[in-house]
C-alpha cells in the first residue's frame, strides 16, 4: 500500500516509517525538515507545514491508501496559537485532505493528556470510562483534545478513523525526554515530585509503533475500532520513582532520591509560568502547574479494549526495554 506518515522524522514517526517499510509498504513522510535516516530506508519525504492547507492538500495528492497522522506540537510550554495551528488547524487540514483525495483510513496519534484532570488519578481506566479532561492549564492537552474529537467525529463509511493514546514513549532514539532527564540528573537538579509512589504507565517505542500497526490492520469502515480512542502502554504500571531511576540507570546517569512536595512544585510552576510570560524567557520552564500534576498523580490504563478490538499485546516488557535502551546507549 501507499501510506503517508505525518511527522515521520520524529521519535515515533521514524519507528512507524521503519515498521511500515519492513511490512512492504511504500511510505512517504510529510515533515517540516529533512531527515537522512528516512532517506536511508527509502522513505520519500515531502517538506511542508501542517498548518499550510495548500501544502497539505498537495502532499496528500499522491494516491495514498492510508495516513498515519503522527505529527504534533508537543511540550509543556508555548503560546496557545502555536499549539492550535499545529494540532487543531493541522489536523483539520489532514482530515480535509483525506476527504478530498479519497483516502479511506486514518490512524491518529493522540495522547492520554486529553483526559488530564488536575490531581485526579486514573487507575486501570479505559477510553470508555475515563472522560475528557477540563481546565488543562496547558495548550498541548487542550489542542490535542480538540483534534482527537475532530478525528473521531470524522469517522464514517468513506473514512475510517482511530485515535491511539500512547503514554510516555521511551526507548532507543529518544531525543526529548531522556536527554532532559539525564542533563538534570547530572546537574543535580532533578527531583521526584511528591512521594514517587504514584504508579504510571509508559510505552516502549516498539510497543507504541506495534499498536499503530495493529490498529491499522484492523481499521475499516464499521470495524470495532473505527471511530474510537484507545489508551496504549506497556501495561506495566510502575511507581514514578522506579520509572525515573530505571531510565537514569540505563543511561548511566545518577539516580534521583530527593523529593519536592507537590504543593511546592505547583507553586514553583506558577512562578515559572509567570516569569516566562512576563519577561519572557527562552525555552521551556523547568516546572509548570500541568507538569507538577502529571508527575505526582497515578495514571495507568487497561489495555483490554485495544486487545479486544485490534489484538494489541505489548511484546517488549519494561525490563527488556530498559536493557535494550542501556545497550543502545552503551554502543
**Active-site amino acid positions:** 140
Over the range 23-60, which residues count as b (16 or more CB within 10 Å of their CB) and which as e?
Answer: eebbbbbbbeeebeebeeeebebbebbbbeeebbeebb
- Identify the CA nearest to 235 among candidates 259, 266, 199, 274: 199
Concatenating the DSSP letter of every residue in 168-225 gives SEESTT--SHHHHHHHHHHTT---EETTS--EE--EEHHHHHHHHHHHHHH-STT-TT
Helix axis angle for 11-22 and 205-218, nearest 10°, is 50
3-state secondary structure (DSSP) of residue 66: strand
**Phi, psi torsion values for 86, nearest 5 degrees:** -75, -45
d(CA 4, CA 309): 24
Query: Given CA atoms 255, 295, 325, 284 in this order, what sign does their dihedral have?
Result: negative
Q: Which contacts of 132-139 are long-range, i.e. CB under 8 A and separated by 24 or more positions? A: 136/290, 137/288, 137/289, 137/290, 138/76, 138/113, 138/288, 138/289, 138/290, 139/78, 139/79, 139/80, 139/82, 139/83, 139/84
Q: Give, as one character, the DSSP assignment of residue 51.
A: T
**Chain length of the chain:** 331
62 sits in the region (left: phi over 0; alpha: psi -120 to 50; else beta) called alpha
Amino acid at each position: 500500500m501507499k501510506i503517508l506518515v505525518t511527522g515521520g522524522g520524529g521519535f515515533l514517526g521514524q519507528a512507524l516509517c521503519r515498521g511500515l517499510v519492513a511490512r512492504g509498504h511504500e511510505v512517504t513522510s510529510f515533515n517540516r525538515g529533512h531527515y537522512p535516516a528516512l532517506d536511508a530506508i527509502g522513505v520519500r519525504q515531502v517538506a511542508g507545514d501542517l498548518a499550510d492547507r495548500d501544502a497539505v492538500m498537495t502532499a496528500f495528492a499522491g494516491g495514498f491508501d492510508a495516513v498515519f497522522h503522527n505529527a504534533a506540537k508537543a511540550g509543556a510550554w508555548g503560546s496557545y496559537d502555536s499549539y492550535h495551528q499545529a494540532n487543531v488547524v493541522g489536523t483539520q487540514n489532514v482530515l480535509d485532505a483525506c476527504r478530498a483525495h479519497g483516502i479511506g483510513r486514518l490512524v491518529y496519534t493522540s495522547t492520554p493528556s486529553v483526559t488530564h484532570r488536575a490531581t485526579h488519578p486514573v487507575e486501570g481506566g479505559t477510553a470508555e470510562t475515563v472522560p475528557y479532561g477540563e481546565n488543562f492549564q496547558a495548550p498541548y492537552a487542550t489542542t490535542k483534545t480538540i483534534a482527537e474529537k475532530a478525528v473521531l467525529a470524522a469517522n464514517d463509511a468513506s473514512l475510517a478513523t482511530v485515535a491511539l493514546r500512547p503514554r510516555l514513549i521511551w526507548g532507543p532514539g529518544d531525543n526529548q525526554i531522556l536527554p532532559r532527564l539525564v542533563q538534570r540528573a547530572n546537574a543535580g537538579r532533578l527531583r521526584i515530585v511528591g512521594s514517587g509512589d504514584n504508579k504510571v504507565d509508559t510505552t516502549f517505542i516498539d510497543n507504541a509503533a506495534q499498536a499503530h500497526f495493529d490498529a491499522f490492520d484492523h481499521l475499516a469502515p464499521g470495524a470495532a475500532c473505527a471511530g474510537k480512542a484507545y489508551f496504549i502502554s506497556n501495561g506495566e504500571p510502575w511507581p514514578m520513582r522506579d520509572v525515573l531511576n530505571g531510565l537514569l540507570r540505563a543511561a548511566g546517569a545518577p539516580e534521583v532520591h530527593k523529593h519536592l512536595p507537590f504543593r511546592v512544585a505547583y507553586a514553583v510552576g506558577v512562578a515559572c509560568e509567570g516569569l516566562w510570560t512576563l519577561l519572557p524567557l527562552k525555552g521551556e520552564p523547568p516546572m509548570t502547574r500541568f507538569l507538577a500534576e502529571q508527575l505526582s498523580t497515578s495514571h495507568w490504563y487497561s489495555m483490554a479494549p485495544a486487545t479486544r478490538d485490534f489484538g494489541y499485546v505489548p511484546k517488549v516488557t519494561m525490563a527488556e526495554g530498559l536493557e535494550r535502551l542501556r545497550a543502545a546507549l552503551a554502543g
